[in-house]
């Protein structure tokens, strides 16, 4: 169970950390996504910070298990919000969302199974 916990958590932290970097460096893709979902561009850095905090929280969870659990739960809620943003504008491009959501959901599941 330890190997699954470490593997899934590291993959989820890498995915969300990579997304955070694209949001924080001002890449065009997050801006285009914000425009498509009718989210103000001023939210893009805030969303990037939330992703970065979640990614760091997942890694910190190796040392403080409750922090990892809370970070994973927060990321699950973040991606539920992303789904709502997609559906609100009628977007059916959900493959990327599904990959991120399933990864952070798996991180939450293995975190709960391993620590609690």
Residue boundaries of the structural domains of the chain: 2-115
Single pTM value for the model: 0.95
Please report where in the chains the tokens 């694209």 appear, as a residue.
22
Residue 7: the pLDDT is 98
Q: What 8-state DSSP symbol labels residue 64?
A: S
Q: Report whether pLDDT(31) > 90.
A: yes
Tell me: pLDDT of 113 over 90. Answer: yes
Exposure of 57 in the CB half-sphere (CA atoms within 13 A): 22
> What digits encode the pLDDT tens for the residues 57-86?
999 999 999 999 999 999 999 999 999 999
pLDDT score of 116:
80
pLDDT, residue 110, reads: 97
Average pLDDT of the chain is 96
């Amino acid at each position: 169970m330890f190997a699954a916990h470490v593997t899934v958590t590291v993959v989820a932290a890498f995915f969300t950390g990579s997304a955070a970097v694209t949001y924080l460096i001002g890449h065009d893709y997050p801006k285009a996504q914000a425009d498509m979902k009718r989210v103000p561009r001023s939210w893009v850095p805030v969303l990037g910070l939330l992703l970065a905090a979640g990614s760091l929280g997942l890694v910190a969870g190796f040392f403080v298990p409750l922090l990892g659990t809370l970070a994973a739960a927060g990321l699950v809620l973040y991606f539920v919000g992303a789904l709502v943003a997609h559906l609100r504008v009628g977007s059916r491009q959900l493959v990327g969302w599904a990959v991120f959501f399933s990864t952070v959901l798996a991180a939450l599941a293995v975190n709960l199974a391993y620590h609690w």
